[in-house]
Structure 1
Amino acid sequence: MSSNLDRHSYDAATGVLVDSVVTGRAAIAALQAQEAEALAGAAKLASLRVAGEPSAVARAREMEMRSLVAEFATAVRVSERSMQRQVNEAETLVGGFPRTLAAWREGTIASGHVEVIVDAGFHIDDQDARRAYEVAVLARAERETPGRLRPVARIVADRLHPRSIDERHAGARLARAVVINDLPDGMAELIATLPAVLARGIHDRLSEQARAVKAARSRDDEPDAATGDPAEPLRASAMPPGEHDPEPVHDRSMDELRADILCDLLLTASPTIDDPATALGAIRATVQVTVPVLTLAGRSGAAATLAGSGPIDPETARVLAGGATGWDRVMTHPVTSAVLAVDRYRPSEDLRRTLRVRDEHCRFPGCRMPAHRCDLDHSHDAALGGATCEANLAHLCRRHHTLKHATRWTVRQLAGGVLEWTSPGSRHYTDAPEPVVRFMPSGDPRPF
């Protein structure tokens, strides 16, 4: 009995603390919105200060704004560059995104959501289109993390943008570059600005190779069956062995391994840690791209979608489709565009493909681990009679799969693949599949 009472007391105390954090975050959001309004108001005053001057108006306005920024920066002890950025962002928000500002003031969204909404919708010049964009994205922002909101916001903005994705991508490709920024302590940043498909593919391949290195390192740690001695340590760097040889692989994080392998690939043209055991050179990137059939056939300019990122231009999508070993056909609801089924003319693992397309990532609220790196979990345990079917399966990353089974978090699957999670403190959180919002009907549904 005492154990049950202790658990109830724990849950009650946790509930009080969660309520306190939620209330505090809402209050912080309201204050941040108030600050943004104050900064934008100050910038407007600076403009009004010189509005009537007939000569050198632009110069006068610039100097007045510099003075204003310096005053604010000094008062709150931040750099003038940082304060100038905050003033610019406040002007953009207050002047162009009133509904987002109101939601921020009410505490229903946080600063991260505001940044995502403004960043994705900034280039929508038409006021009616931007209003429609705000309404659509705010509905999702109130129940999603900024990370999950970003690709949704980009897709909604793309649907409403006056210029086609082809035109914008052609212009954006001209900005591709590799730049280097020096950092302290003998370090530097090598920054590559690339088309999204290539960047995602590079990161995915580096991640797969880093995992292979860690797996090989684990095997090397096991004593040799014949001698009982540890195996020769595996290296993951293009640097020659010696006093500057980096730390062993098992001591490195995934980020460190990705960086080391990137150096190997760029400096030696292939990973120097390639061997029959790891076969890193054979690892290729995995990306998921959804292409409307008319776009694939060249009869439409509708954007394709790169899972986890957002719209990509049709030409890139057609090139990727042309090199694919097989295509998944995705059937969607004529009104909501929710994914109903996925098949191939040569069926193979139909259910897994259906769920990968539906889920895209781990289905725990806020998690964005790609589906191809997640486990397929029975929402209702198979050992307790749960069926192995689409309505009872969802992708969970290993962390949240373990959380579901090892703690008092529970989940049940509702219609349309919606998951309803219940925390130990009896709070309910829903997670809907991304494609329900992602594919927006462009007109009245067909009568068939």
Structure 2
Amino acid sequence: MRGQNLLVSLGNRKVSQHALNDRVRNLLTLANKVAPLASEGNASEDVNNTSEARALMRELAVAGIVLLKNDDSVLPLDKSKSVAVIGPNAKIAAYAGGGSASLRPTYTTTPYEGIAQHAKDLKYTLGAHGYKQLPAISLMSTREDGEPGMTCRFFNEPPSEDPGGRICRDVVQTDLSDMLLVDYSHPDIRQDVWYMDMSGTITPAESGEYQFGCSVRGTAKVFVDGELVVDNATAQRQGATFMGAGTLEERGTKTLEAGRTYAVLLQFGSSPTQKIRKVGATAMRGGGVRLGCTKVIDADEEIAKAVALAKEVEQVVICAGLTAEWESEGFDRADMALPGRTNDLIRAVSTANPRTAVVVQSGTPVEMPWAAAVPALVQAPYGGNEGGRALGDVLFGAAGAAPSGKLVYTIPGARRGQPGLPQLRV
């Protein structure tokens, strides 16, 4: 796309040939400068996973946390008193933004893990969902070799053909069910239209209705024990997934029994099989697919559970905010609100327990309509590998873990006649 635009710009003299030469020369200079680093390409991913590196990452993560409010000295938390950790961000590691900002870490730490390292009496409940797309099924699935994840088989023939006529050309074991396949290649796989079967098993811990979701750049169908649960191939709807070129996440439900093992199969067709096209969307060879699954919850019941737990303990931490799927390249957020029923959860829990600290994890400002009612408020940006432990250090006032007091962005004030963020007491 850029190449064609550049040819037009050269032709109408909006770009000069010598300017183009200068830019190409810069790229070649950079390539020559970094070429010697190729010899380090076989180094272990853990080469920098040292105690010194971990300590530095923890120190940096602490320095990025900001204390916005602390009435009645709710913070630091008391290690000798019972603590409840509640909220959609408690047991996930929001370590970075999405898209090109999101590199796979060697390890991560969650807020729950960071708090657990200090608290002697710790309890947890979800309270509310905060996802945009369903959590990846690879968090609960097992692939053919017994490891967590999914098994992928690649074909040149579509699944509609006689199974005996399909030839498996490649097998890949993956620990992710969220795949960008633009760089996939195999000598026996066609470069344009090809197909992948992604399979695994799940064994639910609880009985109930489970929701399956699939977004795709290409086409996909999801089967559970042979039953079609999600069809994102026959009729597709344009979404913002896969850099604006993919579909909306289509969802379906199935009742599952605790302890029983179910076979899950996703049939994927590469990018050219997609039936809808977004004008101006990024070209994407190969395409991509994401398969998610979670137990369906009753939002009111979850908030009620959180309120009941908050009344049982002496201190509460609510972990809320955004994640890489809410803050990424290729799209803008439609609003500044927290996801789902998060605001309702914060209001209800902070009313139930006056010693509640709210932690908001985000890379940009979010609306806080409950700010005047909560006694303690902490802004925690995406903290990298050690973000969870750093947050625990700050909440419990560990030695050397002082929040910076410096936001990296401005939180907008309220409109005239509307309540805004109260005067901050740091």
Calculate the TM-score normalised by the size of structure 2: 0.25
The answer to which structure has the higher helix fraction is: 1
Structure with greater contact order relative to length (CA < 8 Å, sep ≥ 6): 2
Calculate the TM-score normalised by the size of structure 1: 0.24
* Structure index of larger Rg: 1
